[in-house]
Amino acid sequence: MTTESTGVLQVGPLMPFLEADLRELHAARRLPDPPDSFLDGPGARVEVAVTSGRFGVDADLMRRLPALRAIVNFGAGYDTTDVAEAARRGIAVSNTPDVLDDCVADTAIGLIIDVMRGLSAADRYVRRGDWAARGNYPLTRKVSGARVGILGLGRIGMAIARRLAGFDCVISYHNRRPRDVPYRYLSTPVELAADVDVLVVAVSGGPQTHHLVSAEVIAALGSDGVLVNVARGSVVDEPALVAALLEGRLGGAGLDAFADEPHVPAELRALDRVVLTPHLASGTAETRRAMADVVLANVAQFRADGTLVTPVALPVAGEGLA
């Protein structure tokens, strides 16, 4: 496969340094808006599309890129790309696994500590002058020794578990199948939620995990329970979550992902028991550069020999957990 014969298309915005590298190394073009004139012309020669978990490549765009052979995703999640359609068309898909595990796990631990100890809320308490006016901040909850459940014990889930071990937490998990690990396995998300103080969501996104954290799971977690989501907003039944928090049926939440990003329900923004971050779990300079390097390696290798460095497999129906 020659460089001259392969067109590279950028779908959606990427990190500026990655966009610059794609232009310099691969003469990549960005999909214009509106895209019709490009897709009806140069789009016919595009063989590699580079995108992100926010945008992806849907079935319609695949149809309009008849020469497309690879979709290279900037991010571990690729649920915005129609992977089943890609497989049907013989289009390979890659992501950027491993390099973001540590930062996502760090964020999960930070959210657990923040929600349970009330750090962000206490910061606001001091800034408002409430410490002087109203006295000491209310008592919070201890993190060390807490019972923590991990929903999805894949690479990121394992990184979270290793960190929790340092807090002497009692760790349990649910996966699509048990793993050879020193943690207790629960056979359903509801059983896991009923057994823990904190439920951390670390599964992949997509139709197979849509609303996996259902109203029933949230109810099982209970009025003292804490939900932490560093996965995808689609995994959590957001209206059920909001209702449980407003009605006092859930103790608190730390959320890095939402159903309709970047829009976050006003009810969540008004609650001191909820810590909100703008999908920044992997958002460090070091991790973003590492992710970009994996993307560039995938594009370069595919253009050289038609293979990918980090290919992903078509998910099997019902196997959405990490």
Q: 174, 232, 288, 303: which is the annotated catalytic residue?
A: 232
Helices 101-117 and 285-305: crossing angle in degrees, nearest 10, is 150
Say whether 210 is catalytic.
no
Q: Per-residue pLDDT tens for 8-43?
A: 999 999 999 999 999 999 999 999 999 999 999 999
Please indicate, yes or no, if residue 148 is contained in any of the structural domains: yes
Please indicate, yes or no, if residue 310 is contained in any of the structural domains: no
Averaged pLDDT for residues 48-54 = 95
% of the chain with per-residue pLDDT over 90: 92
Which position has the higher pLDDT, 197 or 318?
197
| Residue 111: both structure tokens together | 């959210």
| Residue 50: both structure tokens together | 């580079």
Please determine, for residue 2, whether its predicted confidence score (pLDDT) is greater than 60.
Answer: no
CATH number for 297? 3.40.50.720
| Exposure of 86 in the CB half-sphere (CA atoms within 13 A) | 27
Residues 123 and 264 in one domain: yes
Please indicate, yes or no, if residue 268 is contained in any of the structural domains: yes
| Residue 110: both structure tokens together | 């930070």
Residues 63 and 28 in one domain: yes
Interior/surface letters 99-114, b for 16+ CB within 10 angstroms, e for the rest: bbbbbbbbbbbbbbbb
Residues 208 and 157 in one domain: yes
Say whether 176 is catalytic.
no
% of the chain with per-residue pLDDT over 70: 95
Give bridge partners of residue 236 from the DSSP assignment.
Answer: 213
Whole-number Å distance between alpha carbons of 103 and 161? 13
Residues 90 and 121 in one domain: no
Residues 108 and 150 in one domain: yes
Residues 169 and 29 in one domain: no
Residues 19 and 168 in one domain: no
Q: Per-residue pLDDT tens for 79-113?
A: 899 999 999 999 999 999 999 999 999 999 999 99
Whole-number Å distance between alpha carbons of 224 and 245? 11
Residues 177 and 75 in one domain: no
Q: Which residues form the domain of 236?
A: 101-276
Length in residues, the chain = 322
Give me the pLDDT at residue 246, please.
98
**Structural domain count, the chain:** 2
Interior/surface letters 243-272, b for 16+ CB within 10 angstroms, e for the rest: ebbeeebbbbbbbbbbbeeeebbeebeebe
Residues 73 and 213 in one domain: no
Please indicate, yes or no, if residue 314 is contained in any of the structural domains: no
Residues 213 and 121 in one domain: yes
Please indicate, yes or no, if residue 18 is contained in any of the structural domains: yes
Say whether 279 is catalytic.
yes
Averaged pLDDT for residues 175-183 = 95
Give 318's pLDDT tier (boundaries 50, 70, 90): very low
Give me the pLDDT at residue 6, please.
54
Q: 63, 134, 261, 286: which is the annotated catalytic residue?
A: 261
Its pTM surpasses 0.95: no
Residues 252 and 105 in one domain: yes
- Calculate the average pLDDT of the chain: 94
Residue type at 152 in one-letter notation: G
Residue type at 291 in one-letter notation: M
Residues 42 and 154 in one domain: no
Give me the pLDDT at residue 314, please.
58
Q: Are 276 and 268 in contact (CB under 8 A)?
A: yes
Averaged pLDDT for residues 183-204 = 98
Please indicate, yes or no, if residue 264 is contained in any of the structural domains: yes
Please indicate, yes or no, if residue 312 is contained in any of the structural domains: no
Strands 226-229 and 170-174: unpaired
- Note the Cα 320 to chain centre separation in Å: 13
Q: Per-residue pLDDT tens for 230-260?
A: 999 999 999 999 999 999 999 999 999 999 9
Please indicate, yes or no, if residue 315 is contained in any of the structural domains: no
